[in-house]
Amino acid sequence: MAVKNLNPVTSIMDFKTFAKNPIVATLFLVLIAISYLYIDVKSTFKEQIVSQNVKVEKLEGKVEIMQITLRRTDSSLAAATSKLSTLEQLGKIQNIK
């Protein structure tokens, strides 16, 4: 009794099989290549997602700082406007237009 080769890749893609069915063998190799590229692209996208998440978190922090600064500026502007209108009403300063 002969011992058969247990490795499925070499048993599928030996030279005899390739010579008998070159189109099927070529399509098999193309399928392997496409599978590899799919897995490679998928892992690249995962890396990009992680790096973009870090970038988004940094930008969210900057936006929060800008919002706090805007609120402070708005409060200061409101206080200055009310002081100016009070001084105008009391006649201490002229009306500014």
Q: Where are the domains of the chain?
A: 8-90
What is the Cα–Cα distance from 92 to 86, expressed in whole angstroms? 9
Residue 37 carries which side chain, given as an amino acid letter?
Answer: L
Determine the pLDDT at residue 1: 44
- Residues lower than pLDDT 70 in the chain: 1-13, 96-97
What is the Cα–Cα distance from 82 to 89, expressed in whole angstroms? 11
Lookup result for tokens 């890749």: 9
Determine the pLDDT at residue 97: 66
pLDDT, one tens digit per residue, over 71-96 is 999 999 999 999 988 988 888 887 76
